[in-house]
Amino acid sequence: MFNTRLPLLSGLVLFILALPGLAPAADERELPGQNADPDAIYPPGERNPQSGAPAEWPKITKDQKLFGFALIDRLEYGDPEGTNNYLWDAQGWLGGDTNKFWWKTEGEGPTHGGGPEDTEFQALYNRMISPFFGAQAGIRYDTNPGADRAFGVLGIQGLAPYWFESDTAFFVSEDGDVSFRGEFEYELPLTQRLILQPRLELNASANDVPEYGLGQGLNDTEMGLRLRYEIRREFAPYIGVRYEALYGETEDIAERAGEATSSTNFVIGVRAWY
């Protein structure tokens, strides 16, 4: 009997308190700070009517200060079957919160018997289109063992859901050849300083470009797994493995030229940023 009546009595009390005239009016309630002295809250002197800050403080101007960042994502030595090689992959930017100048460079070559191969430079304008992604447009210039080439670039770079770093771009060469590249990385912290980083890169072409060893379709993929130790956040040596493979007509072109169509590299390198 008692358990049945208790909820009824509680509901009746709340109903009575909610009746007009019994609950205190909104204008009669005292809010925190309602009767505080303004002189005790605001500093003395004139104030900016727009921000409320002291008049002598500098005005707030958004997106005017320049910041810079540079990252050597990969600087490594590889040991595949055959000629040992080196590789670099770096990028950085200069700008504000919304607009940035972005640069990128990468390339590789044998440690003995020749200079760099497939050296690439990019100069891009980056415009933030969301808190985590920027749209990029600009130019790319390649220096190869053959003739050099220039490209127009249109891409998107940023941090995808689940913390995947994504860098995708379409390239249009000076001859009208269209290609695509996608790079994806993920960082898996094992400890505060020990980081495991899987990486995937793929390249595809919409045209046959046999003079550069490229066929239509998927050209190649590069898969890597690197384990780095951050001595400092800005400096981290690593070890890992990198596997590269060619596909389709690109693979056939390489076979006819007597070149390897796949390779496995055990790598050692360093990652640094400033």
Q: Which neighbouring-strand residues pair with 173?
A: 151
Please give the Cα distance from 228 to 222 (Å, whole number).
19
Please give the Cα distance from 241 to 266 (Å, whole number).
4
What is the CA angle 121-220-243, rounded to 5?
Answer: 95
Please give the Cα distance from 77 to 270 (Å, whole number).
10
**What is the structure's pLDDT at 15?**
58
Please give the Cα distance from 86 to 113 (Å, whole number).
12
Please give the Cα distance from 62 to 7 (Å, whole number).
57
**What is the structure's pLDDT at 5?**
54
- List, run by run, the mean pLDDT of 10-residue segments along the chain (274 residues): 52 56 53 65 74 77 80 91 84 94 94 80 97 96 86 97 95 96 97 97 95 94 97 96 95 92 94 96
**What is the structure's pLDDT at 116?**
81
Please give the Cα distance from 180 to 206 (Å, whole number).
8
Residue 65 sits at φ, ψ, to 5 deg, of: -75, 140
